Each structure stands twice: as C-alpha cells, then as structure tokens.
C-alpha cells in the first residue's frame, strides 16, 4: 500500500513538473503557454551562509537602505525604526500618521526618494483609518531626521486609495520609483466582494496600480488622463493584491507578483493602461472551492500572467539581483514566500520564467514566512521574516 502511494506521488510529480510536489487546486486548468507555471527546477547549488543581521522586530513589512549604511524597517503595528550597522534598533521614528493595524493593515512599505541624499525625503505606504472602521491604502512622505530620537518632519499624505472600504484586507502595497521619477503604488482590491468587483471598474482605485508624481500630483502622460469617468491615477488595472513589485533593471519595466486565491498567485509585467483580468479571468479556485467568477483563465483584451503558481507561495517582496557577491544569481528574480516559508528564485529569459528554485527551506526556527527581499549596497541579499520576533536575514557567500 505504502509503495503504491509513493509510486503514485512520483508519477504525479513527473506529470506536473516544477519544484512544487503538491497537486494543483485547479486540476483541469491549462496554462496559456509553455512554462507559464511549474517551470523546470534549476538548482544553482550556490553555497551561502544565512546570518541574522537583526532580530526582535515585530512583524516587519518593508526594508530600505540609507546612504549612511543604516537601514529603515517598518513594523506592521505602525512603527518605523532605524537599524544601526551593529543591528541595534532605534526608538520608533516619531511624526508618522496613525495606521489601522487590524488584520493585514498597518505600516507597510518604505522607500527613499531618488534624491534622498540632497532632500532627505522618505515615502511610506500604510492603511489609513477613518471613522466607522473604514480604511484605505495611503502614501505619505516626510523629511527624515536621524539621531538618538529620529523623526520625520513636514509629513504630507500624498495619496489616498478611493473608495475607503469596511475591510481590513488586501492593501497591497509596494512603492517603486520609475526611471522617469514617477512613483508606482501597487494596491489591492480589499478582498470583500464589493471591492473585488471594482478591480476592473475605472472610476475606482481598488485593484489598480497607480502612478503619481513625487508630490502626489498626476503625471500628464498617465494612460487615462482626460478620460471621462476614469481615475487619472490609474496605470494598470484588474489586479487582486500586490505585495511584491520592482523594476526589471534590464528593461526598466515594472514587474509585480500578486496574491491569487487558492492557486492563482501570478507574476505580471504591469504595462501602461493594460487590464490584468481580475476577477474576470484567474487561475486557481475560490478559497471555499469552486470556480472564480465564470471559471475562465483567458479572455481577449486581458493580459496573461508571465507566470503563475498553483498551489500558491503567497508572495511578498521582490528583487532582481544585480550584485557581484553571487555571480550565479545575476539577473535572477527573487520573490518572498509567506505560505511556503521560503525564498523563490526564478530564471528570467525574454520576459518569461524558464527555471525555478526554492531557497531558505531549512532556516530554523520554522516557520519563517518571508515578507520582503532586498539587495543591500554590499551586494548581499536581505530578507525580512514575518514574525512577532521577526528578523533581517542576510545571505552572504560562504567564505
């Protein structure tokens, strides 16, 4: 009996391919093109050490590097902290507006302005509280003042996702600077059905990636500027919940990974004015089982994901590696896995995924959900773990 089960499992893995031995949730769905899912496993066999750079950070969410060699790290509960080179955490940076930290909400991403060295501006995203438990994703900026009691000054909330919803889920959000100096804000559709149904509705900012200027104004060359009934902030639409995004350094395009339901996490290249399909088309099935919307995965006029996972990884954090410390990983795309508690490495060729590898599978103590992944100025890979006593792990080559 045991032999039979093992044999059956082995056959299944062979048929399905890819790194994940689990069967798909949507057994009858077919990818739109070869290797759109379950790309062949590609082990790079890079030998590296995992160093705990910092520990004791409560539910860290976003991480960025200051020119001084220090780091800024957000804690979901609403605290921003400065991490000294020796790993000590500052008191919370004062001056940030309140967040609604229920459920998936809180203080989320943090980035420096491209000219931070001269203007000391930092930007962060968060879930903004309103009366009656209504919330929305928002983006603020402020002048960062370091010191024994660090603070932000001249704080302005430059973007509010609208409408606010009575939901504590699917806020997105990552902040990514475009090469032209505009800022992409990736968002979610707030999970509840009335939110989900707005992801392709153009008078709503739910389920959209928006593109704004550094002061929150609208770039004149946004795709829907001047169109009646369409929010001019919109860059792309039909998204579910995007917690991973970065520019592809070789093309300058915005890559993102969004959470699907059971079996629909997907990588997209978010292009100007395009419709990414949610909730009309989707891979996977509903959480409670059964088809999503009409149960279709393709439709004319809607973009196909570059890649999808069924079962899901629950993605958060994203990085194209460009450093010199790991030559074998140059050009690799890294994505954090919350559910899979590992770091996903992908081989990218001509805007397609051609190989997959799972790293950090053996990091103790388990489980260590991966919330963010960044490249440090030293070329090391930094990983945030999503725990009450979260850590910043640093991947360095073994000496």
| Residues binding Ca ion (CB under 5 A) | 276-277
The answer to whether 123 touches 185, Cβ cutoff 8 Å, is no
Dihedral angle of Cα 364, 103, 98, 107, to the nearest 10 degrees: 40
Minimal distance, residue 63 CB to Ca ion, in Å: 27
> Which one, 62 or 277, has the nearer CB to Ca ion?
277
Minimal distance, residue 275 CB to Ca ion, in Å: 9
Burial class (CB within 10 angstroms; exposed 0-12, middle 13-18, buried 19+) of 107: buried
Residue 380, sorted as left (phi over 0), alpha (psi -120 to 50) or beta, turns out to be: beta
Minimal distance, residue 281 CB to Ca ion, in Å: 6
Percent composition of the chain: helix, strand, coil (DSSP 3-state, to 5): 5, 40, 55
Minimal distance, residue 144 CB to Ca ion, in Å: 36
What Å distances lie between residue 281 and 192, 302, 382, CA to CA?
17, 8, 34
- Output the CA angle 253-219-265, nearest 5 degrees: 40
The answer to whether 70 touches 83, Cβ cutoff 8 Å, is yes
Give the residue nearest to Ca ion (CB).
277
170 is catalytic: yes
Burial class (CB within 10 angstroms; exposed 0-12, middle 13-18, buried 19+) of 61: buried
The DSSP symbol for 133 reads: G
> Which one, 308 or 326, has the nearer CB to Ca ion?
308
The answer to whether 209 touches 190, Cβ cutoff 8 Å, is no
> Which one, 62 or 311, has the nearer CB to Ca ion?
311
Helix, coil or strand: residue 183: strand
CA 276, CA 271: separation in Å to the nearest integer? 9
Question: Of these residues, 113, 170, 239, 259, which one is catalytic?
Answer: 170
CA 360, CA 343: separation in Å to the nearest integer? 6
> Which one, 268 or 385, has the nearer CB to Ca ion?
268
> Which one, 142 or 260, has the nearer CB to Ca ion?
260
Decide the pairing of beta strands 71-75 and 60-65. antiparallel
Nearest one of 78, 382, 105 to 241, comparing CA atoms: 105
> Which one, 20 or 265, has the nearer CB to Ca ion?
265
Minimal distance, residue 207 CB to Ca ion, in Å: 10
What Å distances lie between residue 364 and 90, 163, 360, 367, CA to CA?
26, 42, 9, 7
Minimal distance, residue 186 CB to Ca ion, in Å: 13
Minimal distance, residue 238 CB to Ca ion, in Å: 6
> Which one, 303 or 368, has the nearer CB to Ca ion?
303
Catalytic residues: 170
């Amino acid at each position: 009996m045991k032999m039979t089960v093992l044999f059956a499992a082995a056959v299944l893995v062979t048929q399905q391919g890819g790194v994940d031995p689990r069967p798909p949730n949507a057994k009858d769905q077919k990818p739109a093109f070869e290797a759109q899912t379950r790309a062949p496993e590609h082990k790079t066999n890079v030998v590296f050490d995992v160093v705990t750079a910092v520990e004791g950070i409560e539910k860290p969410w976003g991480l960025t590097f200051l020119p001084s060699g220090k780091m800024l790290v957000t804690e979901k509960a609403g605290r921003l902290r400065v991490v000294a080179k020796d790993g000590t955490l500052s008191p919370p940076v004062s001056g940030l507006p309140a967040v609604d930290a229920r459920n998936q909400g809180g203080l989320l991403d943090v980035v420096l302005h491209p000219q931070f060295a001269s203007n000391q501006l930092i930007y962060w995203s968060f879930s903004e509280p309103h009366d009656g438990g209504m919330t929305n994703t928002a983006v603020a900026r402020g002048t960062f003042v370091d010191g024994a009691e660090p603070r932000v000054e001249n704080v302005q909330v430059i973007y509010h996702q609208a409408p606010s919803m009575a939901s504590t889920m699917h806020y997105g959000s990552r902040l990514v600077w475009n090469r032209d100096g505009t800022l992409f804000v990736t968002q979610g559709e707030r999970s509840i059905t009335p939110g989900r149904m707005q992801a392709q509705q153009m008078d709503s900012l739910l389920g959209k990636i928006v593109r704004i200027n550094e002061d929150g104004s609208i770039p004149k060359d946004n795709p829907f500027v001047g169109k009646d009934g369409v929010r001019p902030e919109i860059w792309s639409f039909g998204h579910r919940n995007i917690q991973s995004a970065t520019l592809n350094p070789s093309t300058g395009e915005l890559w993102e990974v969004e959470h699907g339901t059971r079996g629909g996490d997907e990588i997209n290249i978010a292009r100007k004015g395009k419709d990414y399909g949610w909730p009309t088309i989707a891979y996977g099935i509903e959480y409670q089982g059964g088809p999503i919307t009409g149960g279709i995965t393709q439709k004319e006029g809607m973009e196909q994901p570059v890649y999808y996972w069924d079962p899901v990884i629950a993605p958060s954090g994203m990085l194209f590696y460009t450093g010199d410390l790991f030559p074998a990983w140059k050009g690799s795309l890294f994505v954090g896995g919350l559910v899979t508690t590992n770091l996903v490495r992908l081989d990218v060729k001509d805007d397609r995924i051609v190989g997959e590898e799972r790293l950090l599978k053996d990091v103790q103590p388990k489980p260590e959900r991966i919330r963010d992944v960044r490249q440090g100025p030293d070329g090391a890979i930094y990983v945030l773990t999503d725990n009450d006593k979260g850590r910043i792990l640093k991947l360095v080559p073994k000496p």
